[in-house]
Amino acid sequence: MTAVTIYVPGDAAAVAVGADATAAAIAAEAERRGTAVKIVRNGSRGLLWLEPLVEVDTPAGRIAYGPVGAADVPGLFAGGFIAGAPHPLGHGPTAEIPYFKRQQRLTFARVGLIEPGDIEAYKRHDGYRGLTAAIGMTPAAIVECVTASGLRGSGGAAFPAGIKWKTALGAAADRKYIVCNADEGDSGTFSDRMVMEGDPFVLIEGMTIAGLATGATQGYIYLRFEYPLAKRMLQDAIRSAYEAGYLGADVMGSGRRFDLEVRMGAGAYICGEETSLLESLEGKRGQVRFKPPLPAIQGLFGKPTVINNVITLASVPIILDRGAEHYRDFGMGRSRGTLPVQLTGNIKRGGLVETAFGLRLRELLYDFGGGSLSGRPIKAVQVGGPLGAYLPESRFDTKLDYEAFAGVGGMLGHGGIVVFDDSVDMAAQARYAMEFCAIESCGKCTPCRLGSTRGVEVIDRLIAGDEPVKQEALLRDLCETMTHGSLCALGGLTAYPVRSALDHFPADFRKTAAARARG
């Protein structure tokens, strides 16, 4: 009798709600019943409210059950889940779950599908086809392909990747670098983590292609310490890639070298800013650099450096494999391809939604997300991390597109959406934005270093009702100074959440102390 394959995610989010215990319970129960099973620890499918999401491989495809706690396991076996039988926890074929079916997965094509550490499984699922194509191309042709795809940096600034690569290709130097920014510090985001834990080879392949395209021979993945599992998965995958000849002195027999190493950050949000990250990689305090020179011309150790986000680099293999047009045909306007949205916070069905640009916020919040987790009305959503604007209901028809978001005074950033119900106090959120900036400021420029601390104080006085009209004017003036006077996006964008809270939720700043105490 052949063993039935059962998938139990090993992704950190799944494990955080008990996937390890579930896997152990399945193994124990199968043993007790004498049923042959093979448990595969896959990445997460991104339907996070169903985690631990267990899938059984049947002739009719993979059948989903979730959330499966360890205590549910004996009942599932008794109910015949091993054959894919219906069950109160069952959701039918995973691919048919509407949340999943409505997505267009390009970058996340393999995440959750395969065993992440298995290079053979990666190759069976179209892995290393992009690199194979790239090896047969000139560097300029690879860069042209990435440019033509319309791929933009997904770290926040949305800069066209091909232009960065072209600059680095054109810079003459004895050594160039590819740096992956895996310092995913924005609250409400985890798409980088899901790729690194669920499909690490796609990132390695993307970085290798970037190396071939620009003439860089050394890559670094700068990873935050908060992601210990991603660290292990990446290190194991890099080792396998070296053993299989996909990294090292002779990448796939091409005679080209590309080496890759993981470096750990140390809990500084600012190191997600590209020049701070480079300082940190050089072993220094993560302080922002002046630009120019651009990193693509003088980056790590003064050498030309391509620095891109995880999702950006992980999107490269499929572009090289299927061609620039395939990717570009998704999306709208100047936002081409897909955007992995992370639906988080106070939301009933939180998870990862990768679709073409152009979906409306409202569709995401209600059709995908099912409204708030608490069941109360959604009051505000913050899009784009701690430096993103708070948007009220009147803005929920905004389309997910870089330019459309800029049009409503927001930004898409890294695609994180944090949902708040009507119990949130927006004055407290504005205060937190300033407090966060004060904690994480690198200290290099004055508007950010001092402005953030003064900002907390002004908001405190405003909330206390101490000359509120004057304080609000002062706060807006401070926001202006920080926006235009800061060196980087941390100080420059902290005004977004603060100002949007003031504009859209003025009543929260005028509550009396008594009302505040009542909540």
Partner 1 sequence: MTSQTPRRVIPNQPEARSRLNDAELAAVQNACAALKHLPGALLPILHAVQDELRHVPKNAVPLIADALNLTRAEVHGVVSFYHYFRTEKPGRCVLRICRAEACQSVGAAALEEHAKRSLQVDFHGTTADGAITLEPVYCLGNCALGPSVLVEDRLVGRVDARRFDDLVADARKAK
Among 187, 235, 446, 481, binds partner 1 (CB under 8 A): 187
Give 429 or 471: the residue with its C-beta nearer to partner 1.
429
Among 151, 171, 268, 448, binds partner 1 (CB under 8 A): 268
Both structure tokens of 89: 């926890």
Q: How far is the CB of 282 from partner 1 (least distance, A)?
A: 4
The answer to whether 47 touches 66, Cβ cutoff 8 Å, is yes
Q: How far is the CB of 178 from partner 1 (least distance, A)?
A: 14
Give 166 or 379: the residue with its C-beta nearer to partner 1.
379
SS (H, E, C) 5-68: EEECCCCHHHHHCCHHHHHHHHHHHHHHHCCCEEEECCCCCCCHHHCCCEEEEECCEEEEECCC
Host H or E run for residue 255:
none
Write the burial class of residue 263 (CB in 10 Å: 0-12 exposed, 13-18 middle, 19+ buried): middle
Question: What is the distance of C-alpha 246 from the center of its chain?
Answer: 25
By C-alpha distance, which of 409, 407, 406, 414 is closest to 391? Answer: 409
Q: Identify any residues that bridge with 180 across adjacent strands, giving them in sequence order.
A: 221, 308
Among 38, 101, 102, 285, binds partner 1 (CB under 8 A): 285
Give 280 or 500: the residue with its C-beta nearer to partner 1.
280
Near partner 1 in 64-93, by CB under 8 A: none
How many angstroms separate the first and last alpha carbons of the chain? 61
Does 246 interact with partner 1 (rule: CB under 8 A)? no
Does 199 interact with partner 1 (rule: CB under 8 A)? no
Q: How far is the CB of 498 from partner 1 (least distance, A)?
A: 13
Near partner 1 in 290-349, by CB under 8 A: 301, 342-347
Provide the 8-state DSSP code for 153: -
3-state secondary structure (DSSP) of residue 483: helix
One character per residue 383-402, x = contact with partner 1 (rule: CB under 8 A): ---x----------------
Task: Determine how β-strand 390-392 pairs with β-strand 378-383.
Answer: antiparallel
One character per residue 89-108, x = contact with partner 1 (rule: CB under 8 A): --------------------
For residue 340, cis peptide bond before it (omega within 30 degrees of 0): no
336/130 Cα distance (integer angstroms): 19
The answer to whether 231 touches 273, Cβ cutoff 8 Å, is no
One character per residue 1-30, x = contact with partner 1 (rule: CB under 8 A): -----------xx-xxx-------------
Give 269 or 330: the residue with its C-beta nearer to partner 1.
269
Give 166 or 289: the residue with its C-beta nearer to partner 1.
289
Among 4, 37, 48, 493, binds partner 1 (CB under 8 A): 48
Among 114, 168, 178, 424, binds partner 1 (CB under 8 A): 424
Q: Applying CB under 8 A, which residues contact partner 1?
A: 12-13, 15-17, 48-49, 51, 184-190, 192-193, 225-229, 263-269, 280-286, 301, 342-347, 350-351, 373, 382, 386, 416, 418-421, 424, 429, 432, 436, 439-440, 442
